[in-house]
């Protein structure tokens, strides 16, 4: 199950060329995936420093008309904040708000550089936040004020970001990092306890996507998106607190079965829906091409 979209910005993209082609591609995606049970198309302005106010507004209207999620990288680091203040006189959060783009279907990735008023504004507007702790650490963006956002009532989901800034894209490793980094940053071992962290990774993620009625917890009436973790492995024995174990000790390789929408896609660690050797072989080819390009 995925929420996908083509990222748009003011300059040509290696993916689609000129901006207008990007709009055409986005419209095509919405057409192709109407009523798809597993793929939801989103509207994706890249960020306030790569998208003019006109482009942001245009994409905002597009998202509003389609009732689509508006996904944007927001307040990711000090450079973005400084550039936005220089160009527009306000930080990224207030800049988006002036454009009318902070709302319940706005999913803001990162949100590292925020003051208390900006946190309150995100909460009042019902903006959802995708917290990507490991990416923020690796890129030296900083540490997002997640406990303060949760206190203010902001809906926070946990993301891994992509493999460019988080090599392992392992949600279990990410929960481990999220639970730990805020304790160190705030010098308080009680913040982001295992329950809060697991909740942000599951229910929080679902709510951030506006899909809390469909996924995010094991409840009658929800879609069967679930994983089975093998707690009998030596490094997970013994178990006293399963929630603490999920956050602090389980790793992605402990997942033995995976089901999406009621369909088993991995059974006993074997992927049932993809040709793994063919994909690995293709990846090997791409690797050789890239190495050849590097000379």
* Residues forming the site for its own copies (CB under 8 A): 78, 134, 136-143, 167-168, 170, 173, 176-177, 179-181, 183-184, 186-189, 234-235, 237-240, 244-245, 248-249, 251-254, 276, 279-280, 283-284, 286-287, 290-291
Least distance in Å: CB of 78 to its own copies?
8
Least distance in Å: CB of 138 to its own copies?
5
19: exposed, middle or buried (Cβ count in 10 Å: 0-12, 13-18, 19+): middle
Q: What is the CA radius of gyration of the chain?
A: 20
Cβ distance to its own copies smaller for residue 215 or 247: 247
Cβ distance to its own copies smaller for residue 197 or 202: 197
Least distance in Å: CB of 30 to its own copies?
31
Least distance in Å: CB of 171 to its own copies?
12
How many angstroms separate the CA atoms of 255 and 272, rounded?
A: 14
DSSP E strand boundaries for 179-269: 226-229, 255-260, 263-267
How many angstroms separate the CA atoms of 276 and 97, rounded?
A: 45
Least distance in Å: CB of 104 to its own copies?
30
Cβ distance to its own copies smaller for residue 226 or 249: 249
3-state secondary structure of 155: strand
Least distance in Å: CB of 67 to its own copies?
35
3-state secondary structure of 141: coil
How many angstroms separate the CA atoms of 253 and 1, rounded?
A: 20
Phi, psi of 193 (to 5 degrees): -65, 170
Cβ distance to its own copies smaller for residue 39 or 271: 271
Cβ distance to its own copies smaller for residue 63 or 229: 229
Cβ distance to its own copies smaller for residue 40 or 136: 136
Cβ atoms of 205 and 178 closer than 8 Å: no
């Amino acid at each position: 199950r995925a929420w996908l979209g083509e990222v748009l910005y003011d300059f040509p993209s290696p993916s689609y060329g000129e901006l207008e082609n990007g709009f055409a591609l986005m419209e095509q995606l919405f057409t192709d995936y109407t009523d798809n049970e597993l793929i939801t198309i989103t509207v994706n302005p890249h960020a306030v420093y790569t998208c003019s106010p006109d482009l942001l507004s245009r994409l905002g209207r597009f998202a509003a008309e389609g009732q689509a999620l508006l996904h944007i990288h927001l307040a990711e680091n000090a450079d973005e904040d400084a550039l936005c203040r220089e160009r527009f006189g306000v930080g990224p959060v207030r800049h988006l708000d002036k454009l009318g783009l902070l709302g319940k279907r706005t999913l803001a990735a990162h949100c590292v550089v925020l003051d208390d008023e900006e946190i309150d504004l995100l909460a009042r507007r019902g903006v959802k936040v995708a917290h990507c702790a490991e990416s923020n650490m690796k890129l030296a963006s900083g540490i997002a004020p997640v406990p303060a956002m949760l206190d203010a009532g902001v809906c926070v989901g946990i993301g891994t970001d992509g493999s460019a800034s988080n090599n392992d894209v392992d949600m279990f490793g990410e929960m481990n990092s999220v639970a730990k980094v805020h304790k160190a940053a705030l010098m308080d071992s009680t913040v982001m306890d295992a329950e809060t962290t697991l909740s942000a990774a599951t229910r929080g993620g679902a709510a951030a996507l506006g899909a809390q009625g469909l996924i995010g917890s094991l409840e009658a009436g929800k879609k069967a998106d679930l994983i089975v973790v093998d707690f009998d492995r030596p490094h997970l024995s013994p178990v006293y607190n399963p929630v603490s174990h999920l956050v602090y000790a389980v790793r992605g390789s402990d997942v033995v079965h995976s089901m999406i929408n009621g369909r088993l896609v991995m059974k006993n660690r074997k992927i049932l829906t993809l040709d793994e050797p063919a994909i690995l072989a293709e990846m090997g080819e791409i690797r050789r091409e890239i190495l050849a390009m590097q000379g």
